[in-house]
Amino acid sequence: MAPSFKEQCISLRKQDHSIVEIMRITGRPKTTIYAHIRNLPLSEKRLRSYRNASGQHIRQFAVSRKGKSEKKFTPFNEWTLETVLLVAHLTFDGSLGQRIVAYSNRSEALINRVESLMSTIYAYLPKRSFDSHSGVLRTSYYNVSLALYLKSKSRELLAEIENYDLELKKEFLRAFFDDEGCMDLKLKTNKRRIRGYQKDVGVLRVIKSLLADFGIDSHLEPPNEVVISGKSNLSTFQREINFSKGVCINGNRSNSIWKEHLEKRELLQRAINSFKV
């Protein structure tokens, strides 16, 4: 008798195949596969090969630039709370180009956070700019090797975050909702929900999977949103993840119903308090 899909997934994982490889072999989506292998992490040998491949790619690029001045940075081999948070922010609201690492946000608290995190691996100061029309701050680092390195770490993090510890997943989710999330509170229409936008639907599926690890039920709404609703889910999100202090809605928008820069975490608390007992 042919093995079931679950048995096939488990067998492939035990052969040290990544989620992406199992997707290619089975033709099934990531979330379906992950449900069967979530407790079967890749071997340390395979994870090390990812890190080595990234390092080799960077070294080859460095050779091609031999003789050219380059400011040094400190690579990291293990994911920590700080490195997950940094790379996640750069993935969601950042720009990882060929020559530049940049992060843009209206929240100075988040700009300061990213600059503080970057200082742990790169000792040089960024260039800040401000768009007075949009109110967006931008912090930029001009370093070809650094940009290439962090781009590779972004790909690695997205591919493997579902296999990491809960505390690392929590930092990844916090970065996502600080950068891409909003608190939708409209009591007249009975709307109390957290929404997170991302043009890559594959990333939204990862977010939905990570939320489930904390007991938070969510659903995807077309074309590009993950949505959390219901008192229990909102309360669990507040307890386990929450928006960061200082991250506010844009009260200057013409369609703003609040007309002031309220913290997203304050609106979340109002939403939870508004439910009838």
Domain assignment present for residue 53? The answer is no
How many whole angstroms separate alpha carbon 19 and alpha carbon 44?
15
pLDDT at 116 over 90: yes
pLDDT digits (tens, 9 = 90+) for 164-190: 999 999 999 999 999 999 999 998 889
Read off the tokens for 184: 């939708």
Q: Is the per-residue pLDDT at 253 higher than 90?
A: no
- What are the angstrom distances between the C-alpha of 242 and each of 5, 49, 194, 234? 36, 34, 10, 9
From the list 198, 249, 264, the residue with the least C-alpha distance to 225 is 198
* One domain for residues 154 and 175: no
Q: Are residues 172 and 262 in the same domain?
A: yes
- Judge whether 50 lies within some domain: no
Same domain, 128 and 153: yes
Backbone φ, ψ for residue 246 (5° rounding):
90, -5
Out of 1-15, 40-54, 147-161, which region has the weakest mean confidence (pLDDT)? 40-54
pLDDT at 66 over 70: no
Same domain, 175 and 258: yes
Q: What is the pLDDT of residue 64?
A: 57
Is the pTM higher than 0.85? The answer reads no
The residues with which 183 forms a beta bridge, in sequence order, are 194
Percent of the chain clearing pLDDT 90 (strictly above): 65
Point out the least confidently predicted range of 40-54, 56-70, 163-177. 56-70
Which of 111-120, 131-140, 162-171, 255-264 shows the lowest per-residue confidence on average (mean pLDDT)?
A: 255-264
Are 45 and 169 in contact by the 8 Å Cβ rule? The answer is no
**Domain match, 173 and 145 both:** no
Domains identified in the chain, total number: 3
* The CA-based dihedral angle spanning residues 97, 101, 105, 111, taken in that order and rounded to the nearest 10 degrees: 170
- Residues 131 and 175 reside in one and the same domain: no
Q: What is the DSSP letter of 76?
A: -
Split at pLDDT 50, 70, 90, the class of 65 is: low
20 to 9, 136, 158, 234: CA distances (angstroms): 12, 35, 11, 31
Query: Per the domain annotation, does 51 fall within a domain?
Result: no
Q: What is the spatial distance between Cα 237 and Cα 248, in angstroms, rounded to a whole number?
A: 17
Mean pLDDT of the chain: 89
- Top pLDDT among 33 and 100 is at 100
Residue 182's alpha-carbon distances to 64, 198, 225, in angstroms, are: 44, 12, 11
State both tokens at 81.
Answer: 């709370």
Domain containing 124 equals 67-161
At 170, which helix (H) or strand (E)? Answer: helix 166-180
Whether residues 176 and 224 share a domain: the answer is yes
The reply to whether 198 and 254 lie within a common domain is yes
215 vs 36: which has the higher pLDDT: 215
Which whole-number Å values give the CA distances from 106 to 90, 102, 180, 264, in the listed order?
15, 14, 12, 13
Tell me the three state secondary structure of residue 27: coil
**pLDDT for 150 beyond 90:** yes
Count Cβ neighbours within 10 Å for each residue of 132-147 and write b for 16 or more, e otherwise: eeeebbbbebebbbbb
Q: What CATH number is associated with residue 157?
A: 3.10.28.10
**pLDDT for res 69:** 46
